[in-house]
């Protein structure tokens, strides 16, 4: 068994990598089956503002396990790396996951990162695997799904019409207009529950960078904000992927603390549903993750008709605790 770095993957290596992802998905079919184009895009193109490293465990010329490490920001940036390890179901409990984790730990240290995050599904082998390697759960997320056909257009229209006095709805696709860039960054601070563990401050440049990254992937970012003049009091973001636009992904939603309690959250989300229905009628579902302790956002989503799907968790470990 060899562990190799796959820094410049060949077509054959992309095919083998994809075969491992398919085998893992076949064993535990949470979510959609991986598409070959997604795998190729992931392996060939790093997202803007981040680098990636890849390793694979290979036996008799065939990959049996793979690991991807995402490194956001510059080397040494005070941000955790993000690890994703997949071991073919027929080759588990042989130490392959551990071997790939130690390779990735070397990659983390080489990039001067002090910690790493992993996002996994509750009730899967990933939990005992990570816990056996010193990872701790730092966030619990409820995966929710909304079927747009379940939400009558009249209900959405009524919610939009019931917006609080003194606010105005604005919307844009792609990068935020300059006049709202700094205000949107301030509103993103309102998502303290989500970003505290990452410790990364939002500023206008990072807000633009995120939107450019989505554009570069070919996906479409939609934002609806409730504003007072140029102050963004609350906003919501949806990304419609280029591949598989039937299922859109909820990105951030936040209401600035001093504007809470006025139903701005449900207002911007309802306005988003109305906009998408006209602008992107092919969208059938919206998927979102809510922090388990974010009771207000969960209540808003349940009122809109989102239903619980699964629980996912973020685990974190310090690089120093990982296997050498």
Ligand X SMILES: CC(C)(COP(=O)(O)OP(=O)(O)OC[C@H]1O[C@@H](n2cnc3c(N)ncnc32)[C@H](O)[C@@H]1OP(=O)(O)O)[C@@H](O)C(=O)NCCC(=O)NCCS
Q: In this structure, how many other beta carbons lie within 10 angstroms of the beta carbon of residue 119? A: 15
Q: Which is nearer to ligand X, 159 or 319 (CB)?
A: 319
Short-list 18, 27, 35, CA closest to 92: 27
Least Cβ distance, residue 92 to ligand X (angstroms): 3
For 83, the 3-state DSSP assignment is strand
Q: Which is nearer to ligand X, 120 or 183 (CB)?
A: 120
Least Cβ distance, residue 53 to ligand X (angstroms): 14
Q: Which is nearer to ligand X, 93 or 278 (CB)?
A: 93
Least Cβ distance, residue 140 to ligand X (angstroms): 16
Q: What are residue 65's DSSP bridge partners?
A: 57, 87
Q: Which is nearer to ligand X, 50 or 124 (CB)?
A: 124
Least Cβ distance, residue 237 to ligand X (angstroms): 26
Question: What's the distance, CA 40 to chain centroid?
Answer: 19
Least Cβ distance, residue 113 to ligand X (angstroms): 16
Element of type H or E holding 92: none
Q: Which is nearer to ligand X, 117 or 226 (CB)?
A: 117
Q: Which is nearer to ligand X, 117 or 183 (CB)?
A: 117
Interface with ligand X (CB under 6 A): 24, 83-87, 92-98, 118, 120, 124-126, 128-129, 132
Q: Record the tokens describing residue 48, joined without a space.
A: 């803007």
| Nearest-angstrom CA–CA distance, 190 and 172 | 20
Which residue bears the tokens 């205000």? 183
Q: Are 207 and 264 in contact (CB under 8 A)?
A: no
| Nearest-angstrom CA–CA distance, 324 and 232 | 46
Least Cβ distance, residue 66 to ligand X (angstroms): 9
For 58, the 3-state DSSP assignment is strand
Rg from Cα positions in the chain: 21
Q: Which is nearer to ligand X, 100 or 187 (CB)?
A: 100
Least Cβ distance, residue 94 to ligand X (angstroms): 5
Least Cβ distance, residue 132 to ligand X (angstroms): 4
Residue closest to ligand X, measured at CB: 97
Q: Which is nearer to ligand X, 67 or 268 (CB)?
A: 67
Angle at 289 between CA 287 and CA 292, to 5 degrees: 145
- Identify the burial level of 196 via C-beta atoms within 10 angstroms of its C-beta, where 0-12 means exposed, 13-18 middle and 19 or more buried: exposed
Q: Are 86 and 66 in contact (CB under 8 A)?
A: yes
How distant, in Å, are the alpha carbons of 4, 68, 111, 124, 228 from that of 104? Answer: 11, 8, 11, 21, 47
For 311, the 3-state DSSP assignment is strand
Q: Which is nearer to ligand X, 172 or 197 (CB)?
A: 197
Least Cβ distance, residue 57 to ligand X (angstroms): 9
Short-list 249, 57, 223, CA closest to 144: 249
């Amino acid at each position: 068994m060899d562990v190799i770095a796959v820094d410049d993957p060949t077509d054959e290596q992309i095919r083998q990598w994809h075969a491992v992802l398919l085998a893992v998905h076949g064993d535990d079919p949470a979510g959609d089956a991986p598409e070959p184009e997604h795998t190729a895009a992931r392996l060939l193109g790093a997202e803007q503002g981040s680098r990636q490293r890849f390793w694979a465990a290979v036996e008799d010329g065939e990959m049996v396990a793979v690991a991807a490490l995402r490194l956001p920001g510059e080397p040494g940036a005070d941000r955790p790396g993000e690890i994703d390890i997949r071991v073919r179901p027929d080759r588990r409990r042989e130490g392959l996951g551990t071997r790939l984790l130690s390779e990735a730990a070397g990659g983390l240290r080489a990039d001067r990162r002090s910690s790493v995050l992993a996002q996994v599904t509750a009730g899967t082998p990933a939990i005992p695997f990570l816990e056996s390697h010193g990872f701790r759960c730092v966030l619990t997320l409820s995966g929710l799904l909304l079927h747009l056909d379940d939400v009558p257009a009249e209900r959405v229209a009524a919610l939009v019409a019931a917006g609080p006095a003194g606010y105005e709805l604005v919307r844009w696709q792609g990068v935020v207009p300059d006049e709202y860039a700094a205000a949107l960054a301030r509103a993103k601070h309102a998502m303290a529950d989500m970003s505290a563990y990452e410790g990364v401050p939002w500023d206008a440049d990072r807000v633009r960078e995120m939107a450019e990254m989505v554009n570069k992937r070919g996906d479409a970012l939609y934002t609806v904000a409730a504003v007072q003049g140029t102050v963004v009091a609350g906003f919501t973001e949806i990304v419609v992927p280029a591949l598989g636009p039937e299922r859109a992904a909820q990105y951030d939603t936040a209401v600035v603390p001093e504007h809470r309690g006025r139903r701005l959250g449900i207002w911007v989300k309802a306005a988003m549903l109305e906009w998408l229905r006209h602008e992107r009628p092919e969208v059938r579902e919206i998927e979102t993750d809510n922090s388990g302790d974010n009771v207000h956002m969960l209540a808003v989503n349940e009122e809109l008709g989102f239903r619980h799907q699964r629980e996912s968790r973020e685990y974190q470990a310090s690089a120093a605790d990982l296997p050498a």
